[in-house]
Amino acid sequence: MIPVNEPKLAKNTLRYVADCVRTGWISSAGSYIRKFEEAFAGAIGVRHAVTTTSGTTALHLALAALNIGPGDEVIVPAMTMIAVPYAVLYTGAKPVVIDIDRDIFALDPGRVEDFFRVGCRFDRRRKAWVNRRTGGLVRAVLPVHLYGHPCPMNEIIALARSHGLFVVEDAAEAHGAIYFRGPKKTRAALAGTMGDFGCFSFYGNKIITTGEGGMVVTDDDALAERARRLKDLAHSPGKRFLHTELAFNYRMTNVQAAIGLAQVEEIDRFIAVKTQMAAAYGRGLAGIAGLRLPAEKPWARNVYWMYAVVVEDEFGMSRDVLMAELWKAGVDTRTFFIPVHRQPVFSEDPAAGETSCPVAEELSEKGLYLPSGLALTSGQIKAVCRAVRELARR
Ligand SMILES: Cc1ncc(COP(=O)(O)O)c(C=O)c1O
């Protein structure tokens, strides 16, 4: 079976992990935490990086550091990983679900604008936008750079500015993805570095992995300081074990950070491998009717975390049948995410946004991703392409 994701660890991994074990520094107090944070901040071009236990806790920490809480609402894309709306709910706020873009599966700024125009009113007293249906204050937008392609951040940031929203980017799947802000690709920013906070996951299938783990990044000194305090139980600055507010233990271990540091040292090579893999898939799958290959907008560098394709009606076989046939042919695949507003967990307390998101609903039925792990060989990519091509001929 060709696995959907087999990680490849960096060459210094064993040396750094052995160092933790040899010295006894296996908790979160070891020196690899700082080294990993500094290396990651340097690699993506931000002032501060704060390690966490996962991408999920990174999202929660960022929202909590921005004081998002009960009565607030956070705009999220309709098709994303469940960790995104969960993180909003952990704060006591509500997710506002908005439909996505058909090409890159990102939060659609046009639909966000519609939501404000039709679904909200400006409350002069509180100087904030209020959701007409729920009465909640819309406080933040949480764009997700899905499958390695950056979101249209200029539009999202402009909307956030004009409506007084914080921006928390979810770059869990987009380490190293680039958004070119200027017309001639002159001004570039990496996914996760453009909002008030950027959040990353280092789960085993991510481009950089620590097994489990995450990071929040920001250029804002005060926000970084607040995130650091909240992730470590919020000890009072002058007096340890004195606590004036509710906080969390989201501390990463030194062993995880050691694995992460070794990975960051090779991030450019990992991204180059992903790009080459995508090019090989692009060549092998070109011209198959009804199989839509992943886009790369002129203003973006897609890092192709997962090679995500859409099986259109013309293909002649549904996405689910294609996946079952590929499985029989020894190729493992995964479906796109189920839309947030269709998740049974929300059935009794529906999210506060759109109740119908036709693009997300359609793509979640038609999208799948092909094997994309860093350990994938060119022979395996050829075998996957051959299998898809044979099925397309049926
Ligand atoms: C887009 C997105 N956000 C958040 C997460 C949560 O990260 P973690 O699994 O590290 O908690 C993931 C995935 O794993 C993800 O893909």
Tens digits of residue pLDDT in 103-140: 999 999 999 999 999 999 999 999 999 999 999 999 99
**CB hemisphere CA count around 363 (13 angstroms):** 27
Residues 220 and 361 in one domain: no
Residue whose CB lies within 8 A of the most ligand 1 atoms, among 63, 81, 305, for a mutation test: 81
CA triple 270-276-279, angle to 5 deg: 145
- Amino acid making up residue 69: G
85 C-alpha to ligand 1 centroid (Å): 11
Any domain includes 5: no
pLDDT value of residue 394: 82
Are the C-beta atoms of residues 60 and 87 closer than 8 Å to each other? yes
Are the C-beta atoms of residues 191 and 216 closer than 8 Å to each other? no
Are the C-beta atoms of residues 90 and 59 closer than 8 Å to each other? no
Q: What is the CATH number of the domain that holds 374?
A: 3.90.1150.10
Any domain includes 191: yes
Locus of tokens 């250029």: 219
Residues 336 and 384 in one domain: yes
Any domain includes 219: yes
Residues 255 and 326 in one domain: no
Position in ligand 1 atom list of the atom nearest CA 56? 11
Any domain includes 341: yes
Burial 186-219 (b: 16+ CB within 10 A, else e): eeebbbbbbbbbbbbbbbebbbbbbebbbbbbbb
Residues 257 and 273 in one domain: no
Q: Which domain holds residue 92?
A: 13-264
Alpha-carbon gap, residue 45 to 189, rounded angstroms: 8
Residues 209 and 281 in one domain: no
pLDDT value of residue 344: 87
Which of 216, 246, 264 terminates a domain? The answer is 264
pLDDT value of residue 340: 93
Q: What is the CATH number of the domain that holds 104?
A: 3.40.640.10
**CB hemisphere CA count around 282 (13 angstroms):** 10
Alpha-carbon gap, residue 394 to 336, rounded angstroms: 24
Any domain includes 3: no
Residue (of 142, 155, 146, 280) closest to 216 by Cα position:
142
Tens digits of residue pLDDT in 21-51: 999 999 999 999 999 999 999 999 999 999 9
Can you give the pTM of this predicted structure? 0.97
Any domain includes 377: yes
Are the C-beta atoms of residues 199 and 171 closer than 8 Å to each other? yes
Any domain includes 4: no
Are the C-beta atoms of residues 72 and 114 closer than 8 Å to each other? no
285 C-alpha to ligand 1 centroid (Å): 28
Tens digits of residue pLDDT in 343-359: 988 866 655 666 689 99
Which of 245, 264, 283 terminates a domain? The answer is 264
Any domain includes 78: yes
146 C-alpha to ligand 1 centroid (Å): 10
176 C-alpha to ligand 1 centroid (Å): 16
Residues 232 and 167 in one domain: yes
Residues 47 and 64 in one domain: yes
Residues 330 and 192 in one domain: no
Q: Give every residue of the chain whose pLDDT is below 70, as ranges.
A: 182-185, 347-355
- Ligand 1 neighbours, Cβ below 6 Å, are 54-56, 80-81, 83-84, 144, 170, 172-173, 201, 203, 214
Residues 215 and 89 in one domain: yes
User: Which residues does 237 contact at the CB level (< 8 Å), separation at least 6?
Assistant: 229
pLDDT value of residue 7: 86
Position in ligand 1 atom list of the atom nearest CA 213? 10
Residues 194 and 325 in one domain: no
Alpha-carbon gap, residue 178 to 185, rounded angstroms: 10
57 C-alpha to ligand 1 centroid (Å): 9
Residues 104 and 238 in one domain: yes
Q: Which two tokens stand for residue 144?
A: 């997700």
Q: How many domains does the chain have?
A: 2
Residues 140 and 83 in one domain: yes
DSSP tally for the chain: helices H, then strands E: 12, 16
Residue (of 41, 58, 6, 22) closest to 252 by Cα position:
58
Give the helix, strand, coil percentages of the chain, each rounded to 5.
40, 20, 40
Which of 235, 264, 293 terminates a domain? The answer is 264
